[in-house]
Chains A and B, each alone.
Chain A
Amino acid sequence: MSLFAYSLVIFILATAVATVLFRDVLSVIIVFGAYSLGMAILYTFLLAPDVAMTEAAIGAGVTTLLLLLTIARTTRPTTDALRERIHVPAVVVVGAFVLLLCTAVLPDMYPVGSTSTPVWSNPDVTQHYITETYEQTGVENAVTSVLAAYRGFDTFGEAVVVFAAGVSTLLVLKREVFA
């Protein structure tokens, strides 16, 4: 990983911690938007542009707007304190747990791009989509072909889930019209 990627990870961790620590709700929403943007850039760096676009559009864009709208429609508690009070025993316990997980799990993780990762351990399956996609579907983006052709039925269910999300918002807010 390059220096850029490391500084990006540090930026993401810093914004994540800041999201937890800030007392003011508006500041939290803004910092959370920055966190999502950092994640989007990291996904691009990890060669997952489709995921990066979704994260940038949904995470940094729509979620920030909806959260801003929510505090505009509800109350925003005024406070002089800059950050939340830190509950030290909880931080110690959670921190120790995370540290334990890191020491247990991280050494076993494969380097980015390594050919010994489990993804490559079943090349009959993974290579099938990469080599056959253009032949079978005529689409150059293998992600789209898996999404809409090979796993089309799953995507149909996914689209219906989005539809259900819109309808259930109406139910929860007891409204009958979208606009």
Chain B
Amino acid sequence: MSDYDDTYTESQVIMTAVKIIAPFTLTYGLFMTFHGGDAPGGGFQGGTIVGVTVLMLAFAFGIEPTRQWLKNSVLTGLVAGGVVIFGAIGLGMIALGGDFLEFTMLKEVFHIKPKWGLEAVEIAGISLIVSGVIISLFFTMAAGFSPERPSGTGGISSADNAAEGPDSPVAEVGDDD
């Protein structure tokens, strides 16, 4: 991993441009997510733009500093949490007496528009998954393939890998410093 950061060139132009643009793209992404019900856009598009904001920061200021600033638990929480929340909202409608994701139950039980169930799925489900996956794809691809890991070996060696899992990010950070 010692040849890692030779892909990064510090450019005053890119850094300044990203500093100016990033607040706007983040706001636009959030706007698109929260306004998906009444305007074009929604969780998929808004989540992508929020994710792209982080990608732009990584391109301008180096991937490794951005990776250290963004914890793995945050990304795992975004990706897995989004799926869990989406499923939980669906199951919640069953708990209210309807079918999976049947938002009309909101109207019958709580007397609120089904719109809020729909928005909850878009904002707390889809956009979290999409933004998390976009950022994760970028960082996993930036980290690349390490051929020293054994491939196609199940059982014991995969258990070994799982055991050394918590240590590996620490070791990588140490290498890159």
B83–A176 touching, CB < 8 Å: no
Contact of B113 among A49, A137, A153, A165 (CB under 8 A): A137
Q: How far is the CA of A37 from the CA of B162 in the complex (A)?
A: 42
| Chain B residue contacts of A148, Cβ below 8 A | 36, 42-43, 118, 121-122, 126
Contact flag A58-B140 (CB < 8 Å), given A137-B115, A155-B126, A162-B130: no
Cα-based distance from A122 to B87 in the complex (angstroms): 33
Q: Indicate whether A163 reaches chain B with its CB closer than 8 angstroms.
A: yes
B73–chain A nearest beta-carbon distance, Å: 9
Q: How many residues belonging to B are interface residues under a CB distance threshold of 8 Å?
A: 69
For A72, the chain B residues whose CB sits under 8 A away are 7
Q: Which residue of A lies closest to B32 (CB)?
A: A53
Is B70 engaged at the interface, CB distance under 8 Å to the other chain?
yes
Which of the residues B140, B146, B169 comes within 8 Å of A170, measured between beta carbons? B140
Majority secondary structure of chain A interface residues (helix, strand, loop or mixed): helix
What is the bound-complex CA distance between A52 and B94, given in angstroms? Answer: 35
B40 to chain A, nearest CB (A): 4
With beta carbons under 8 angstroms apart, the residue of A69, A73, A163, A174 that contacts B151 is: A174
Interface residue B95 (Cβ < 8 Å from any Cβ of A): no
Q: B27 interface residue, CB < 8 Å from A?
A: no
Given contacts A58-B48, A179-B72, contact A53 B142 (CB under 8 A): no
Cβ contacts A to B, 12 pairs, < 8 Å: A50-B42, A53-B40, A57-B45, A65-B138, A66-B141, A73-B7, A73-B141, A136-B104, A163-B83, A169-B140, A178-B140, A179-B70
B positions within 8 Å CB-CB of A: 7, 32, 36-45, 48-49, 51-52, 55, 59, 67, 70-72, 74-76, 79-80, 82-83, 86-87, 90, 100-101, 103-104, 113-115, 117-118, 121-122, 125-126, 129-130, 132-146, 149, 151, 161-162, 165, 168-169
- 20 other A-B residue contacts (CB within 8 Å) besides A62-B55, A148-B118, A174-B146: A53-B40, A54-B48, A57-B45, A61-B52, A69-B7, A69-B142, A73-B141, A137-B113, A144-B36, A148-B42, A149-B101, A159-B130, A162-B129, A163-B82, A170-B140, A173-B140, A173-B146, A177-B168, A178-B76, A179-B75
Interface residues of A (CB under 8 A from B): 49-50, 52-54, 57-58, 61-62, 65-66, 69-70, 72-73, 136-141, 143-145, 147-149, 152-153, 155-156, 159-160, 162-163, 165-166, 169-170, 173-179
